[in-house]
């Protein structure tokens, strides 16, 4: 592996630590009974499954971005006594996660199983038992199917959950994967592969590099020189405008329907994908540069979320950025964005909201 690619892959894996605990067997994360926000939600039972919860707490400033009346509260406590750790968010509001227990010193340990809370559901249910839990460092969900790692295999389950779990070929256990309208993953040797679903024959695209982001129909691939935008339908690629001359030392990345986000020189930078026009950079990112924190980006239709999570302790912070207005909102826990959805943790619940157009 050449030096630039080695550095990029290291950055990608480090950025995964925020919402992808367990990407290295020696790293453990924790989630206590109460989130960093300072405790559980106010009293008052959640509403019926599929209905929003009136009065759900919204951090100051976030109410300008979301539909406050439509916030869904998802319980973190699971029937087996563990707690949900969200690892993937779909554009339809589906949440995928692992289960975690915390020992008295505050160190978290994953249990086996992939858990799912469907759109509008306020409790997660066991989707599939996975056996050894140490490899659950990332999950993805979309129309193409549910994806999660199992050792050096990439496991795939169709959205209905009725078909057998399958393994996608070529995956090495250390590279990124995505699910949307199609499935996209980086296979051995930096090969880019895609499939319409778990049971469909995969296609090998004529591009090699490090897969760092995906927003249908474009995958974003790093190699020496500019970042490439690859159309997964045709295999055609073009250089991305608005990035530093060499993107090899830029991390992390993510992309949404009209936005590309990355961190460069300790500032969050967002580019309009249609015009290449950069928005105002955002500095003072939470925990940026701290050796014991992993960072990640997630990009929705309107917002960008930067999150930092301690690799061992139950400490995490996030920053929600609205490029359109230049406003930022700090959150005292981990958060994810996808499409027009925003998920963030508050104590014993995750809150799921729809972002305003």
Q: pLDDT tens digits for 11-55?
A: 433 334 344 333 332 222 233 323 333 232 332 333 434 455 545
> Is 247 in a helix, a strand, or coil?
helix
pTM confidence score: 0.84
CB 18 within 8 A of CB 315: no
Whole-angstrom Cα distance, residue 47 to residue 304? Answer: 29
Averaged confidence pLDDT in the chain: 83
Torsion angle defined by CA atoms of residues 142, 146, 148 and 152, in that order, rounded to the nearest 10 degrees: -100
DSSP state of 278: B
CB 182 within 8 A of CB 202: no
Read off the pLDDT of residues 142-157 as tens digits, 9 standing for 90 and up: 999 999 999 899 999 9
Read off the pLDDT of residues 79-94 as tens digits, 9 standing for 90 and up: 988 999 999 999 999 9
> Is 156 in a helix, a strand, or coil?
strand
């Amino acid at each position: 592996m050449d030096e630039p690619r080695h550095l990029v892959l290291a950055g990608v894996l480090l950025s995964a630590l925020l919402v992808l605990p367990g990407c290295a067997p020696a790293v453990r994360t924790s989630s206590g009974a109460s989130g960093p926000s300072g405790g559980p939600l106010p009293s008052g039972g959640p509403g019926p499954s599929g209905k929003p919860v009136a009065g759900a707490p919204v951090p100051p400033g976030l109410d300008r971005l979301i539909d406050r009346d439509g916030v869904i509260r998802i319980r973190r406590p699971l029937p087996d006594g563990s707690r949900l750790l969200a690892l993937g968010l779909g554009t339809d509001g589906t949440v995928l996660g692992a289960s975690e227990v915390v020992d008295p010193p505050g160190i978290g340990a994953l249990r086996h199983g992939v858990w799912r809370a469907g759109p509008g559901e306020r409790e997660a249910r066991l989707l599939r038992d996975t056996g050894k839990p140490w490899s659950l460092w990332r999950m993805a969900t979309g129309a193409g199917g549910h994806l999660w790692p199992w050792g050096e295999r990439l496991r795939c389950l169709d959205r209905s959950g009725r078909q057998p779990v399958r393994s996608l070929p070529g995956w090495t256990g250390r590279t990124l994967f995505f699910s949307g309208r199609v499935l996209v993953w980086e296979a051995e040797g930096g090969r880019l592969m895609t499939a319409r679903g778990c049971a469909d024959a995969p296609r090998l695209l004529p591009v090699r590099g490090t897969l760092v982001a995906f927003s249908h129909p474009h995958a974003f691939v790093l190699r020496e020189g500019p970042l490439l935008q690859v159309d997964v339908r045709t295999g055609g690629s073009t250089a991305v405008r608005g990035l530093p001359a060499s993107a090899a030392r830029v991390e992390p990345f993510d992309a949404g329907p009209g936005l590309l986000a990355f961190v460069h020189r300790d500032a969050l930078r967002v580019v309009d994908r249609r015009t290449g026009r950069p928005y105002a950079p955002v500095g003072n990112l939470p925990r940026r540069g701290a050796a014991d924190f992993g960072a990640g980006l997630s990009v929705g239709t309107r917002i960008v979320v930067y999150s930092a999570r301690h690799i061992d302790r139950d400490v995490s912070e996030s920053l929600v950025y609205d490029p359109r207005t230049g406003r930022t909102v700090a959150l005292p826990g981990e958060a994810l964005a996808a499409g027009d959805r925003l998920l963030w943790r508050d104590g014993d619940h995750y809150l799921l909201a729809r972002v305003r157009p």
